[in-house]
Amino acid sequence: MNAFEIRVEVAPELALFVPQARRAGATALGVDGVSTLGHVVESLGVPLTEVGTLLVDGRAVPVSHIPAAGESVTVRPVARPQRIPGAPLRFLLDVHLGTLARRMRLLGVDTAYESTDIGDPALAARSAAEQRVMLSRDRGLLRRRELWAGAYVYSTDPEEQLRDVLDRFAPELLPWTRCTACNGLLRKATKEEVADQLRHGTRQSYDVFAQCLSCGRAYWKGAHHEQLVAIVERALAEFAG
């Protein structure tokens, strides 16, 4: 089928995904009359995980819409906070987001993390099996159809990454309730219960402990506690409630 043209305007929030020439207002784009609008948007480089409303000549349409000649398309970003229906809000992070994973767990957000590169098919399958929102900077991974849900991580800075995730999804924050190593839940523990993990100085200096119900790791208010408190307090001040 012969190609014809539509005009596409991508919201400024999504401009980083498209070529420079398409970042300033509506531009012409050839389409084949067969491909869906979702496919067309993805062909421009925009993951559908980042797309909110699609407008055609001012009216909202689904990603399955087949563009017709002369239509004007506006691609808007996901509205915030984004709601993920159908399952409790929980996340899966790829191998490149370890620091973000630990900070999310510190805040009590259910966060699975793959510390090795298991490959996109396996990550997508786990997202679907466990109904977790896949967080990644890999656009190819976010295009996989078997994902339960997904979101692009826009920054390379862990602090900005955390702020963006909390702003986008507004998860419930329950600091100090999860193991930062494995995501398991924590319980209060006595010094005797975790004694085999404590050096002499720690046994002498600390009396309050917690332990992971999954991996058994012990926690106490050690040398880095003030840094962790600062992360928690910033998040609670900006996003709690």
Q: Do 63 and 23 lie in a common domain? A: yes
Domain boundary among 12, 44, 77: 77
- pLDDT (tens digit per residue) in 196-219: 998 887 888 888 899 999 999 999
Note the pLDDT of residue 64.
Answer: 97
Supply φ then ψ for residue 223, to 5 degrees: -65, -30
- pLDDT (tens digit per residue) in 164-207: 999 999 999 999 999 999 999 999 999 999 989 988 878 888 88
Q: What is the domain count for the chain?
A: 2
Is the CB of residue 89 less than 8 Å from the CB of residue 24? no
Of 49, 108, 41, 32, the residue nearest 74 (C-alpha):
41
Q: Do 59 and 117 lie in a common domain? A: no
Average confidence score pLDDT of the chain = 94
Is the CB of residue 105 less than 8 Å from the CB of residue 173? no
Average the pLDDT over 84-105 and give the result.
96
CA distance 225 to 228: 5
Read off the pTM: 0.92
Strands 111-113 and 51-56: unpaired
DSSP state of 178: B
Q: Which domain holds residue 135?
A: 91-239
Q: Do 230 and 124 lie in a common domain? A: yes
